[in-house]
Amino acid sequence: MDQTTVVRRAAPIDEDDDASNEPMAVIPSVATASASSSAPAAGSSSSGSAAGGKSLFSRKPNSAAVSIHSSDPGLEFDQLMRIYYSRLFPFKKYYRWLSYGNVQKHYFCNREFSFTLEGDIYVRYQSFSTEEQLRKEIIQRNPIKIDIGAVYNVEPKDHKQVRGPEFKAEEKEVVFDIDMTDYDDIRTCCKGADICFRCWPFMTIAVRILDRALRDDFGFKSLLWIYSGRRGVHCWVCDNSVRTYDSNIRTVLTDYLSVVKGSEKNAKKVALTNPLHPSLQKSLDIIEEYWEPVILGDQDILRSPAHIDRVLATIPDEDNARMRQALRNEWNTHPNGTSQERWKQLVQEVYLSVKAGKSYLKSTVPEIMFQFAYPRLDVEVTKGVNHLLKSPFCVHPKTGRVCVPMDVDSIDDFDPFAVPTIQELCSQINQFDAANPHATTDSGKKLQDYKKTKLKDFMSPFLKFLEPLESNIRDAKLMDMDKDGMAMDW
């Protein structure tokens, strides 16, 4: 394993010419696939069905939510992963991203990758010199999950050859992790790993608010948004200067963007100034777009007694017990009132109190709105330079869904339930090849496999991110060359 670190534990659970150079293996028909599988990955046992005889891709309907699992068992998970890595994973574009134009000679080979292998084996400090080496290792080892870590001062695979303090994480993208479970205290439809169409807009709001703040307030340009494959989203900020931020700067950044603070024991988690900071006012403008249809409509936050208590508890104590009790009495008297009607009554009561001299209540309405809609960040993920995060284009081991890029410009249309599973992708290749056995591109080249599947729909946002990033890298190179030329003239 060449100086890698292996830990047995519970798992922390492209394209132009991205296809392997090796001959394409024929994908067994999903309907007739045999139970036999290819050799298991190194250090793993052969794959089987999930505990209790249930497939990893079983679907569990619920009146309020649906766990987003593929419905047909078909091929075993390890077989599907081997097909996905050998025929669909976008290695070349993936390498183009993480090598950043090879401006720094050792940038890619000093990057840490970690693999979660079959049998709960977690392998850290993997590193690769070339795209081809990365491709071969992933196809051979067939990881259940891939995580991306920092760029170190030496190749991570050789970290045992240097003393501990001398092995340092030097650079990494600034990353953000937003998980739906952090909204469990406010969403009324689902809990835990489940999501549905009623609560997914929390992620939509989060993407819109953070993307605007990162671009407008900080001037960042290269942002890659990724669906986590199950119940959340990730953001990779890849600007050249950002990747060099130390943990102190990353902490300042998260502090600036964090508004909802405190644990479940804190009834009031937001404290705002009046007037609002201009950035927060822009966030509030976004929240207002979703407040009535999503928070008051789909989430219906003023219908159940438990959620009513959570909303009223955010009103500052002082002498406002009368206001809270008056609202409760009104809503108990009219139990069929809608959340929209009750919200108008709450806003009116706050307004009258402010008018009567309670100026400290001026921020109460926006504080409630922020508490029930503003992004909830996992700040520890962002602060650490050496923190690993699940890789784009890997497959979520519990849903089988690919961690696909998201287009911010059409984020309202993103449907997590429409994200393909690896089983669906394999089936789509079979169906396409059966209907188009001699399909080629306009130039006569063999059609790439991802273009035969729904994965092609998610490649556009990745290219929309990658191509400007590469253009900026080329421009920076030219500027450096010009500077060098001017220096030589002197």
112 is catalytic: yes
- Placement of tokens 């850290």 in the chain: 124
**268: part of which helix (H) or strand (E)?**
none
Query: Which superfamily does 5-34+41-46+55-253+378-477 belong to?
Result: DNA primase, PRIM domain (3.90.920.10)
The predicted pLDDT at position 3 comes to 54
In 3-state terms, the chain is what percent helix, strand and coil (to 5)?
45, 10, 45
**79: part of which helix (H) or strand (E)?**
helix 77-87
**368: part of which helix (H) or strand (E)?**
helix 364-371
From CA 58, how far away is CA 140, in angstroms rounded?
27
Which contacts qualify for 451-458: CB closer than 8 Å, 24 or more apart?
Answer: 452/428, 453/88, 453/420, 453/424, 453/425, 453/428, 453/429, 454/418, 454/420, 454/424, 454/425, 454/428, 455/88, 455/402, 455/404, 455/420, 455/425, 458/402, 458/404, 458/405, 458/419
Task: Determine which one of 76, 112, 118, 298 is catalytic.
Answer: 112
Give me the tens of pLDDT residue by residue for the chain, a chain 490 residues long: 455 566 554 434 333 455 444 333 444 333 333 333 333 333 333 333 333 333 223 333 333 333 333 334 457 899 999 999 999 999 999 999 999 998 888 999 999 999 999 998 999 999 999 999 999 999 999 999 999 999 999 999 999 999 888 999 999 999 999 999 999 999 999 999 999 999 999 999 999 999 999 999 999 999 999 999 999 999 999 999 999 999 999 999 999 999 999 877 788 899 999 999 999 999 999 999 999 999 999 999 999 999 999 999 999 877 678 899 999 999 999 999 999 999 999 999 999 999 999 999 999 999 999 999 999 999 999 999 999 999 999 999 999 999 999 999 999 999 999 999 999 999 999 999 999 988 888 888 889 999 999 999 999 999 999 999 999 998 877 776 555 545 445 5
285 is catalytic: no
**Backbone phi and psi for residue 45, each to the nearest 5 degrees, phi listed first:** -100, 165
- Contact (CB, 8 A) for 257 and 213: yes
Detail the DSSP E strand segments found in 172-268: 174-179, 223-227, 232-237
Q: Is 78 exposed, middle or buried (0-12, 13-18, 19+ CB in 10 A)?
A: buried
Give the bridge partners for 395, in sequence order. Answer: 402
Angle between helices 91-99 and 455-489 (to 10 degrees): 30
**97: part of which helix (H) or strand (E)?**
helix 91-99
The predicted pLDDT at position 461 comes to 97
| Domain assignments of the chain as residue spans, ordered by start | 5-34+41-46+55-253+378-477, 267-371
Q: Which residues contact 475 (CB under 8 A, 6 or more apart)?
A: none
Task: Determine which one of 131, 173, 179, 367 is catalytic.
Answer: 179
From CA 300, how far away is CA 472, in angstroms rounded?
45
- Contact (CB, 8 A) for 184 and 369: no
The predicted pLDDT at position 439 comes to 86
292 is catalytic: no
Task: Determine which one of 177, 194, 298, 424 is catalytic.
Answer: 177
